[in-house]
Amino acid sequence: MAQIVKKSNRLNSQIKKLYLEWLFYGGLAAVCVALLEVTQMFSFVGIQLIFLKILDSINNYRILKVGLGGEKKVFELINHLPKGYKILTDVKIVNGRKSSQIDFVIIGRNGIFIMEAKNMRGTIRGKENDKVLKKIKIGKSGDKYASDVYNPILQILGHKKGFDAFLASKGHSYRAIPILYFSGEGSIEVESEKVKIIDEPVLVIDYIKRHNQDNISDFVQNKIIEDLLEKAEK
């Protein structure tokens, strides 16, 4: 099995923050109810605003839970890579004023892979360079409906740009290989020459193992990991 070098999850942290929000707004709502008889109008408006905020937090919680479930499945998947691969999760790269939060960085003798995992339902359609793509979903009644989503291909290409700049700044000549993986029931009907798009679990492992353009020594692998961990601590 692969070696886990850094395992963290920003989604868990965000969910914990939502719990604290619920406690805060729940207490605030209780105060407003207690003051309702004294300052009727203010308390009524305050309760309405708090209720809307709690509803928004619940919606965010549901979205985060879906994302967290997807990332856990992907982590379990890539953890089955052969011995010799190293895995880092939630790697933050700062490039000037821009920053990238990469779901998974996988480092092995045959390459450095950065992977974004998308756990969503529906089919994404559009063109590789479109900023916004269409997500088509089918409701319980069988009706189709569409919504706009930010192009995940452009997202991971942005991550790659920042990651490659980071590697170059540390004197490394290697470049990241971007992978966009759709878990769950989601799929993407967009062709890309720049990003490997995968929607079958077994193909993730197969693609990483078959890549043979690089030959990175153990020393260089460990140096890259050291640089990434040093960056994460700052």
Tell me, what's the pLDDT at 95?
73
Task: Read off the pLDDT band of 52 (50, 70, 90).
Answer: low
pLDDT at position 44 over 90: no
Domain locations along the chain: 3-8+79-233
Question: If we measure between CA atoms, which residue out of 63, 81, 74, 49 comes closest to residue 18?
Answer: 63
Its pTM stands at 0.72
* Higher-pLDDT residue of 40, 159: 159
* Higher-pLDDT residue of 226, 119: 226
Secondary structure (3-state) at 155: helix
pLDDT digits (tens, 9 = 90+) for 196-217: 999 888 899 999 999 987 889 9
pLDDT digits (tens, 9 = 90+) for 56-72: 555 544 444 444 445 67
Work out the burial of residue 205: count CB atoms within 10 Å of its CB; fewer than 13 is exposed, 13-18 middle, 19 or more buried. Answer: middle
Tell me, what's the pLDDT at 143?
81
Tell me, what's the pLDDT at 197?
92
pLDDT at position 86 over 90: yes
Question: If we measure between CA atoms, which residue out of 130, 122, 12 comes closest to residue 64?
Answer: 12
Q: Domain spanning 3-8+79-233 has what CATH number?
A: 3.40.1350
pLDDT digits (tens, 9 = 90+) for 125-142: 999 999 999 988 887 777
Question: Residue by residue, what is the 3-state secondary structure of 44-59?
Answer: HHHHHHHHHHHHHHHH
Tell me, what's the pLDDT at 116?
92
Tell me, what's the pLDDT at 23?
60
Secondary structure (3-state) at 188: strand
